[in-house]
Structure 1
Amino acid sequence: MLLCADNSLYGGFTTDVAKRFATHVAGKGAKYTKVHRPLKVLFSQEFESKHDALHAEWAFKHQSRQKKLQFLKQQGISMQK
């Protein structure tokens, strides 16, 4: 999960978090992060399979912002830039 400059949250699938984050920062990632500049990685999680990871990504993208913020708070993660 990435924190973007406009305080929005972005979630996606990758096998290499650091490399994917660098791609997003360089403006070569997803369309969303080209417009909403990513600032930092807030959270990442490993999964047993690609299927499980993609399912989690889908679930994340279908949650409200409120639920995402609640999750971050439960994990003790700060949204500060």
Structure 2
Amino acid sequence: MTYALYIMASKPYGTLYIGVTNSLQRRIWEHKQGIGCTFTAKHNIKTFVWFEMFDNIETAIAQEKRMKKWKRDWKINLIERNNPHWQDLFDSIGHS
């Protein structure tokens, strides 16, 4: 099984949310529907802007915990390294 560490945003440079899941397509869809997470629903966080895949859940969770402690600028730089225009990546992950 693979696990995804991901970042969602309300808009470019807006509110960010970092999470881990074992089903990236399902979890991003849930965020977009406003279900499964009160924080993302409350802050209208629906744009999927970054992800990294892991083979081990413990490694993914450890990285999530580290990233949540990062300075905001570090998170923004990480997003912009591969997604400089803050495009929604949902269509790129192959959903149904």
TM-score by length of 2: 0.71
Percentage identity across paired residues of the two chains: 21
TM-score (normalizing by structure 1)? 0.82
Give the structure 1 partner of residue 10 of structure 2.
4
Runs of 5+ unmatched residues, structure 1: none
- Which residue pairs with 2:82 in the alignment? 75
Q: C-alpha deviations, 1:19-49, integer Å up to 9, x for none?
A: 1011112222222112111232111111120
Residue 35 of structure 1 pairs with residue 49 of structure 2: no
Distance 1:37 1:76 in 2: 20
> Aligned pair count?
81
Residue 80 of structure 1, CA deviation = 5.8
Post-superposition offset of 1:73: 2.6
Distance 2:61 2:22 in 1: 11
3-state SS of 2:19 partner: coil
**Distance (whole Å) between structure 1 residues aligned to residue 41 and residue 33 of structure 2:** 9
Which runs of 4 or more aligned residues in structure 1 lie more than 4 Å from their structure 2 counterparts after TM superposition?
none
CA distance, structure 2, for counterparts of residue 31 and residue 53 of structure 1: 22
Retained in 2: the 8 A contact 1:28–1:34? yes
Residue identity opposite 1:4 in structure 2: S
- For the residues of structure 2 that align with 1:56 and 1:4, how far apart are their CA atoms? 22
Point out where structure 2 has 5 or more consecutive residues left out of the alignment: 1-6, 89-96
1:37 partner amino acid: N
